[in-house]
Structures are given as C-alpha cells and as structure tokens.
Structure 1
Amino acid sequence: MTFLVLTQTLSYTKTAEQLYISQPAVTQQIQRLEEKLDLKLVHYHRPNLKITQAGEELADFLQRTSVQAKQVLERIQTPDKFQEINFSTTRSLSVFLAPKLIKEVAAQKAFRKISCHVGNTEQALAKVRNGESQFALVEGNFNKNKFGYKIISSEPFVAVAAPDHPLAQFKSLTWSDLVKTPLLVRERGSGSREILASLARAENVSLADFEHMIVISEPLLIRQLLLEGVGVSFLYRSLVEKQLQQRQLVELPMRDNGQTAHDLYIVYAKDSYFKKDYEKWADVLR
C-alpha cells in the first residue's frame, strides 16, 4: 500500500501525509520492501524521486491485482444482486458509440445500474487503472502493454469545414495549406488531439505551426463552431455524418494522410478476470 501511494505522489512527504504516518516510516517501509525483493524500486536524489522500471512494473501489477480482487470479491459477496455496468468513454465516442452500448444494455433489463463517465482518453484510462470503471471506450494511442483491449471498429478521421470556407473550394490540400487557418483542436490528454498531432508530424507539421489554434474539450462545440464557419478541424466521420450528408459541412480534400481510419477500442485491466464479459460488449458494438 505504501509503495503504491508513493508511485502516485512521487513524494515521501505527501505519502506520509496521505497514510497518516511519519516520513521516516515511509522510507523504512520502502527500504525493507527493496531488501525483501532484492530490487531497486526507487531512485531518490533530493528533491527528485523517480520510480525505477522494476518499480513501475511492480506498481502496475499491484494496482491491477488489488482492483480485480475487489471486483471479484464484490461479485462473490452479492451473487443475488442485479449486475452493474460502470464504464468510461472519451468525449468523441460519447456521441456515437457509448449511446449504442447503453441502449443495448438497457434493452436487456438485466442490470440494476448503468454508469457512464465521460472524459478524454487519459482520464478514461486512469479510471480503468484505479478501478473506478470496469472498462473504457477509447480512441487514440495508449500503452497496450498495460491494458487488455479489443478493437471494436475502424473509424474514418477526416478534415472538416463549412462548405463556404475558402479551403473547401480547393481540389487538393496539404497540411502546409492549413496553417494560416484557425484550427479547432481538442485539449491535451485527448486521443483525438494525439491522432491529429501524429498525422501532422508525418507531414513535417506541428500544431505549433498553426497561426491560430482554438482548444476546446467538447467535440460537439467544435462541430457547432464548424457549422458557423469558424476554422477547420479533424473529427471522426460519425460525429459529423448527418451534417456531411446534408452538406452543412464538407470533408476537405487532403492530399496525403489527412483522411485515415483509426481503431476504436474497448479497454480493460490487463489479464482481467472479467475479460470475456468485456469482449462480449465489444462484439455488441461491432
């Protein structure tokens, strides 16, 4: 427990405060653990504390097992209760993928409670890691060595603008053509932003090259601003499918990798006891 808290706070003082023990007691517990395991878990050169690779792997294992042990125990202790579904989703997927799952779960009428937490990719994964969510619906990049996952589908990620936007009149565009136009982009920690930044880097462009960047955490607000002619953005096509069909928005004709498909995932704790349950929901969403 002490070591897990230390990996989160990266501070002997804050760990002691959180556990209501003295700082020397924290130091002694960590030293005894290192001696018992014959592993170096922490590098500490005042004021910097760093968890070693071995320490990171141990913390990850301890976190996973403690979370899963709690979940298994809850299921064993309350076998007669209706099951509960508790999951997280990114903001983009909350618009078109999470509703599909909730509708399917609700139709079964076998679950007493459905809880859905909406945030960015980083926040969704954190909730899976600490056991607040059973699984998460995410897009973008994540450390696949630290989670169990299954691909749900591949979704086109497209450049979008209003039909009367000057760039919509071009037959072909490069990333360099975009940099003088206001770019609507998600916040740091968002999978969509990471995908966008990766696409730009592949064409030797960074987000810092854009002269005007508008950072917005809510994808529906980005869509609304696009409808009002404010700049350009990159979104999953499902987010703007209706608007594209009605010609309220148009896909920009990016020449290179501006229109690519990206995998959407259901992510859960690595080696989860409930893996088959989560993969069942992935199959429902296909």
Structure 2
Amino acid sequence: MLDHRYQTFLVLATTKSYTRTAQQLYISQPAVSQQIKNLESELGLELVHYERPKLSITAAGQELAAFIQRVQVQANKVVTTLQHPQKTRQVTFSTTLSLSEFLAPQLITLLQRRDYHEINCRVTNTQAALRALEAGTSDFALIEGNFDKQRYGYEIVRQEPFVGVVAADHPLAQQAVVSWADLTAYPLIIREVGSGSREILENLAHAANVTFAEFPQLVTVNNLAAIREILLRGSGVSFVYRSVVADALRAGQLKVLPLQAGRLRHDLDLVYPRDSYFAAAYQEWASALRE
C-alpha cells in the first residue's frame, strides 16, 4: 500500500489548503508541507503550485491524486474480502442510459447468479460514468461512448447497430434511400451533452459534413422512454441503438432509416480501472454477456 505522504497529498488535492489538510489529518501545517516536498523530490515531479494566496494542483498532481483514490478504494475492498470472505458480496457499477435499457439488466441477472447479494446500478451518462471510475465510487461501468483506451482496462461486450429511426408512417419511412440532406428537413431528437450516444451522432453528422444547426429544430431529451414516445408521435428523427427500440420495430411502430451512408455498429464496453485487482472477474462477466 502507499505510504502516508500519498494520503496527505490526496487530502491536499481535495482541500487545496495546507491549513485544512493539517486539520483533517491532525498534524501540523509544516509537517504537511514537508511531506509534500519529500514526495515531489522522490518522484521528481511538481505536484503543487503555490502562489499566495492561491494553491493549485498541477496536471501531474491531478493524475497522481486520481490514481491514489483508485488504489485506496481497491485496497479497502481487497482487504475486506480477505478479512471477511463469507461477508455479503456487493458490487457497484455505472451504466449509460442507453445500455440501462437492455445490457445492464442482463448483467444484473448474471451477478445475481454469481451470488452477489447487494448490487448497486447507477444510470448516468458516459462522462459521469468515467468520473465515477476515477473517484472509485463505481467498480466498473457499461458505456458506449468514446474513452481513453490507454487509461482504462476494458472488454468489448458486443457491437450494436446505431441506427436512425422514425415513426412507421413518417415521410422518411416511405423512402427507399435516405440521405443526411433528407434528415435536415425534420426535427432532430438528441441526447444531452455528455451522453455517448450524442457524441457518436455528432461524429456521424460531421463525417457527412452536416451540423446540428442545419436541422429546423433540436429537441434534447435525457430519457429514452420520452424519445421513443416523441418518435411514435411522428415528431422527428432520432438515432439510437437498435436494441433500445427493438420492441417498437417488431410491432411495426417504428422503422429504421435506410441511410445512404449505411449503418454504424458501435462497441459497447465494460470499462474498469487499469490494472484492477478484480480484472479477471470483469473479463469473465464480459465474456458471459457476449455469449
């Protein structure tokens, strides 16, 4: 485990105050300052930049603080597991809104069969899910958005079609082929900023040399049930994972648009802290979901 200087630095990175750090750790302010200087000297890095009265954490310091937080959370969980192997098993994970509709329920069923007594599932967007991993408040995450693959461990669970969708009686549903220029004649229903689905759609539009500003209306909704209802009313076009609207497609209520550019299949990932002690379990769960 990391020595006390790392814990001191983590508190300082949170409080951004030598005084408050000293108070929280019940040590003197000079002791805090000395520990930070020793740590910087040992690592050969500037972690703290101080110009009275402002203290800031450098980019290297922010990376180190995030790492310390992850290590601390994992260490506590490992020790608890070793000390109390028969203790109630629990797991906490984040999932994006889209994946909460079809992939997260499959995972929860899998965890129930693995005898996890306490399962905590938090529905959020991609960026918030990654922040929860960094903070150690989620053990892993199910996401569809883009992320730094050098920073995290991950397993591709599946590749899911990401499709344009309209009501079955919408004018676009009657066309044999649909172009992006055709789409811009109708309102576009999109997810909120920070959503992986929105980021994917932005990239698709950019590749087609189209911007959201070209649509007559933008309707931002952070609820997939509401998006489905808007589509069913014929009030616009949206892009979602096919599994999200599978029932409505089978019932003939919605239709996938035959876009000229074809359909995108996007990776759905189980993401976890890099070098996690529990990586083998996450990999096994991802494998089971693929099957």
Given the two structures, how large is their TM-score scaled by the length of structure 1?
A: 0.86
> 2: CA distance between counterparts of 1:115 and 1:157?
27
Matches within 5 A, 1:243-254: 243-254=248-259
Contact 2:165 2:257 in 1 (8 A): yes
Aligned to 2:107: 101
Which of 166, 173, 183 is equivalent to 1:178?
A: 183
Aligned partner of 2:97 among 91, 94, 98: 91
The one-letter code of the counterpart of 1:51 is T
The match for 2:4 is: none
Over the matched positions of the two proteins, sequence identity in percent amounts to 47
Q: 1:180–1:212: 8 Å Cα contact kept in structure 2?
A: no
Range 37-46 or range 129-138, more displaced: 37-46
Structure 2 gaps of 5+ residues are: 1-6
Quick one: distance in 2 between partners of 1:119 and 1:282?
Answer: 20
Within-5 A mapping of 1:154-165: 154-165=159-170
Deviations 1:31-71 (A, max 9, x none): 5543342212345678794623x334423432332221111
Give the deviation of 1:177 after TM superposition. Answer: 2.4
Deviations 1:223-275 (A, max 9, x none): 12111112110000001111112210001121115x21000111111100111
Gaps of 5+ in 1: none
* Aligned counterpart for 1:189 among listed residues 177, 188, 194: 194
Task: Pick the aligned partner of 1:38 from 44, 47, 53.
Answer: 44
Does the aligned pair in 2 maintain the 1:161–1:233 contact within 8 Å?
yes
Q: Match for 1:284 among 280, 283, 288?
A: 288
Give SS of 2:228's match. helix
SS in 2 for 1:92: helix
Q: Residues 237, 41 of structure 1: CA spacing in aligned structure 2 closer, same or farther, 3 A cutoff?
A: same
Distance 1:32 1:229 in 2: 65
How many residue pairs get matched? 279
Please say which of residues 189-198 and 82-91 is displaced more in the overlay: 82-91
- RMSD of Structure 2 on Structure 1 (CA): 2.6
CA distance, structure 1, for counterparts of residue 21 and residue 227 of structure 2: 40
Give the letter aligned to residue 175 of structure 1. W
Q: Decide whether the 8 Å contact of 1:7 with 1:51 is kept in 2.
A: no
Q: Quick one: which amino acid aligns to residue 93 of structure 1?
A: L
Query: Distance in 2 between the 1:48 and 1:171 partners?
Result: 62
1:94–1:32 Cα change, 3 Å: same
